[in-house]
A and B are shown apart, each in its own frame.
Chain A
């Protein structure tokens, strides 16, 4: 039995793998569940405005929403392209 256990412990059990995957997934889904429903639309419209002036791709903008007891924070991150790309 102890020999069997030794071989078993050499790789993680499928249950612990499941737990790990679930923890990451559930945490991610809870964040997006709690954010205001206007976020995706806001993201899309901001992108349209930015694209009028700068040639950026669809994934150039990321919005992060965080909330704790006394404040809400909206973090907006725009990645501008390299200058060499801009000149093209």
Chain B
């Protein structure tokens, strides 16, 4: 049975695509055949973050319209043979994105894949609604920031009422909190909401905290999912997230400020 994961947030710029790329790569590297789908029709970016932008020939809308087969459109990752990317369309009309079309694609993917990661666009328009409609699990990506927390709560309401599972009276979508761009230093001096603050408000199961890290921008600059940078905090944090999702017991890291030695104080950290 394939498991469909939606990466959602409501608010833009909180790290949905970074997260989708990282966890899809993480799951695939653990040996699970994984597909990651970009639902942001018109503004595709997952291809860039995955570093396969020059290999895009067909996209999601081509498959829905029957202009290409799923096999033709899926891009096989060059670093991990268990990972496949289905890019969004760049130019086409959003109306082509239909529930029936997406349903068919997911059904076909489910025969062959273990995990299907749906990278949701920001907002609560059609793309976002369809990305979550068929989901089994939801990763709610939230920044420790007032607008992001509010929008996440809004998405929880939609997840609970407008999904296939809710419409069929099935078991609800499993919701997980992923707190990204976390700065323990700013939390300590009272400038940023803490993990506990956000959990108090959203009451979600915490899957992981991704620290604010330079390595995220470096990763997207080079088209390498940050999880592949095993030396970076953010990469390690995403690896933990994947492990926890798969049922491993990993204590949370990067929540408290790390103690720097004199050497690193002088020469800076990564």
Given A14-B190, A19-B193, A21-B146, CB of A29 within 8 Å of CB of B153: yes
Given A25-B150, A26-B150, CB of A15 within 8 Å of CB of B197: yes
Are B191 and A14 in contact, CB atoms less than 8 angstroms apart?
A: yes
B4 to nearest A CB, angstroms? 24
Q: Which of A8, A15, A33 contacts B194 (CB 8 A)?
A: A15
B189 at interface, CB cutoff 8 A:
yes
Number of residues in A with C-beta < 8 Å to the partner? Answer: 15
Are B157 and A33 in contact, CB atoms less than 8 angstroms apart?
A: yes
B197 to nearest A CB, angstroms? 5
Contacts of B146 in A (CB 8 A): 18, 21-22
Interface 1/0s, chain B 187-201, versus A by CB < 8 A?
101111110010011
Are A19 and B201 in contact, CB atoms less than 8 angstroms apart?
A: yes
B45 to nearest A CB, angstroms? 29
A34 to nearest B CB, angstroms? 8
**Which residues does A use to contact B, with CB under 8 Å?**
8, 13-16, 18-19, 21-23, 25-26, 29-30, 33
6 A-B pairs in the complex with CB atoms less than 8 angstroms apart: A13-B190, A15-B197, A19-B197, A21-B146, A22-B150, A22-B201
